[in-house]
Amino acid sequence: MRWSQVFIPTLREVPAEAEAPSHQLLLRSGYVRQVAAGVYAYLFLAQRSFLKITQIIREEMNRIGAQEFYLPALNPAELWRESGRYDLFGETMFKFKDRNQHDMCLGVTHEEEMTNIARGEIRSYKQLPQLWYQIQEKFRDEPRPKSGLLRLRQFIMKDSYSFDLNDEGLDTSYQKHYDAYCRIFDRCGLKYVIAEAYSGAMGGTVSHEFMVPTDSGEDWVAICDCGYAANLEKARSSVAPVQDPVGDAAPESFPTPGQKTIDDLVKFTGESGGRMIKTLVYVVESKPVVILLRGDHALSETKLASVLQSTTYRPATAEEAFDLHGAHLGSLGPVGIKGARILADQALDGRSNMITGANQDDTHLRNVTPGRDFSAEYADLRVVESGDLCIRCGKPLRVSVAVELGHVFKLGRRYSEAMHATVLDPNGREVPLTMGSYGIGVERILTSAVEQNHDADGMFLPRAIAPFDVVLTAANMDDAGVRSSAESLYKQLQDMGLDVLFDDRQERPGVKFKDADLIGVPYRVTLGKKKLAQGLGEIYERSTKQIHDANLDGLAAALRDRLKAKD
Ligand SMILES: [Zn+2]
Q: Compute the distance from residue 17 Cα to the ligand 1 centre, in Å.
A: 40
Q: Compute the distance from residue 207 Cα to the ligand 1 centre, in Å.
A: 19
The whole-number average pLDDT for the span 255-280 is 94
CA–CA separation, 355 and 368 (whole Å): 6
Q: Compute the distance from residue 397 Cα to the ligand 1 centre, in Å.
A: 7
Tens digits of residue pLDDT in 5-34: 999 999 998 888 888 999 999 999 999 999
Q: Compute the distance from residue 227 Cα to the ligand 1 centre, in Å.
A: 6
Tens digits of residue pLDDT in 225-263: 999 999 998 899 988 889 999 999 999 999 999 999 999
Q: Compute the distance from residue 179 Cα to the ligand 1 centre, in Å.
A: 22
Q: Compute the distance from residue 237 Cα to the ligand 1 centre, in Å.
A: 10
Q: Compute the distance from residue 374 Cα to the ligand 1 centre, in Å.
A: 34
Q: Compute the distance from residue 178 Cα to the ligand 1 centre, in Å.
A: 21
Q: Higher pLDDT residue, 376 or 239?
A: 376
- At residue 156, does pLDDT exceed 70? yes
Q: Compute the distance from residue 219 Cα to the ligand 1 centre, in Å.
A: 20
Q: Compute the distance from residue 322 Cα to the ligand 1 centre, in Å.
A: 43
- At residue 202, does pLDDT exceed 70? no
Q: Compute the distance from residue 193 Cα to the ligand 1 centre, in Å.
A: 13
Q: Compute the distance from residue 230 Cα to the ligand 1 centre, in Å.
A: 11
Q: What is the mean pLDDT of the chain?
A: 94
Q: Compute the distance from residue 292 Cα to the ligand 1 centre, in Å.
A: 27
What per-residue string of b and e applies to 397-424 under the rule 16 or more CB within 10 Å gives b?
A: bebbebbbbbbbbbbbbbbbebbebbbe
Q: Compute the distance from residue 387 Cα to the ligand 1 centre, in Å.
A: 12
Alpha helices of 235-373 — where are they, by DSSP H?
262-269, 301-308, 318-325
DSSP state of 137: E
Enumerate the β-bridge partners of residue 104.
Answer: 76, 96
DSSP notation for 181-221: HHHHHHHTT---EEEE---GGG--S-EEEEEEE-TT-SEEE
Q: Compute the distance from residue 15 Cα to the ligand 1 centre, in Å.
A: 41
Q: Compute the distance from residue 377 Cα to the ligand 1 centre, in Å.
A: 27
Q: Compute the distance from residue 40 Cα to the ligand 1 centre, in Å.
A: 40
Q: What pLDDT score was predicted for residue 15? A: 86
- At residue 197, does pLDDT exceed 70? yes
Q: Higher pLDDT residue, 210 or 88?
A: 210
Enumerate the β-bridge partners of residue 160.
Answer: 133, 438
Q: Compute the distance from residue 532 Cα to the ligand 1 centre, in Å.
A: 56
Structure confidence at residue 175 as a pLDDT band (50, 70, 90):
very high
Q: Compute the distance from residue 409 Cα to the ligand 1 centre, in Å.
A: 24
Q: What pLDDT score was predicted for residue 500? A: 98
Q: Compute the distance from residue 455 Cα to the ligand 1 centre, in Å.
A: 32
Which of 152-166, 293-307, 437-451 bottoms out in mean pLDDT, i.e. has the lowest? 293-307
CA–CA separation, 437 and 428 (whole Å): 27
pTM of the prediction?
0.88
- At residue 220, does pLDDT exceed 60? yes
Alpha helices of 309-350 — where are they, by DSSP H?
318-325
- Is there a contact between 415 and 112 (Cβ–Cβ < 8 Å)? yes
- Is there a contact between 110 and 161 (Cβ–Cβ < 8 Å)? yes
The whole-number average pLDDT for the span 301-318 is 88
Q: What pLDDT score was predicted for residue 309? A: 84
- Is there a contact between 181 and 406 (Cβ–Cβ < 8 Å)? yes
Q: Which residues contact 267 (CB under 8 A, 6 or more apart)?
A: none
Q: Compute the distance from residue 391 Cα to the ligand 1 centre, in Å.
A: 7
Tens digits of residue pLDDT in 424-477: 999 999 999 999 999 999 999 999 999 999 999 999 999 999 999 999 999 999
Question: 3-state DSSP helix/strand/coil percent for the chain, to nearest 5?
Answer: 30, 30, 35
Q: Compute the distance from residue 194 Cα to the ligand 1 centre, in Å.
A: 13
Q: Compute the distance from residue 229 Cα to the ligand 1 centre, in Å.
A: 8
Q: Which residues contact 262 (CB under 8 A, 6 or more apart)?
A: 273, 276, 278, 295, 296
The whole-number average pLDDT for the span 329-346 is 94
Q: Compute the distance from residue 380 Cα to the ligand 1 centre, in Å.
A: 18
Q: Which residues contact 359 (CB under 8 A, 6 or more apart)?
A: 325, 326, 327, 331, 332, 333, 335, 336, 337
Q: Compute the distance from residue 354 Cα to the ligand 1 centre, in Å.
A: 30
Q: How many CA atoms lie within 13 A of 550 on its CB side?
A: 22
Structure confidence at residue 179 as a pLDDT band (50, 70, 90):
very high
Q: Compute the distance from residue 242 Cα to the ligand 1 centre, in Å.
A: 21
Q: Compute the distance from residue 382 Cα to the ligand 1 centre, in Å.
A: 19
The whole-number average pLDDT for the span 506-513 is 95
Q: Compute the distance from residue 239 Cα to the ligand 1 centre, in Å.
A: 13
- For the chain, count helices (H), then strands (E): 15, 32
DSSP notation for 487-512: HHHHHHHHHTT--EEEE--SS-HHHH
- At residue 545, does pLDDT exceed 90? yes
Q: Which residues contact 522 (CB under 8 A, 6 or more apart)?
A: 460, 461, 462, 463, 466, 469, 470, 541, 542, 543, 563, 566
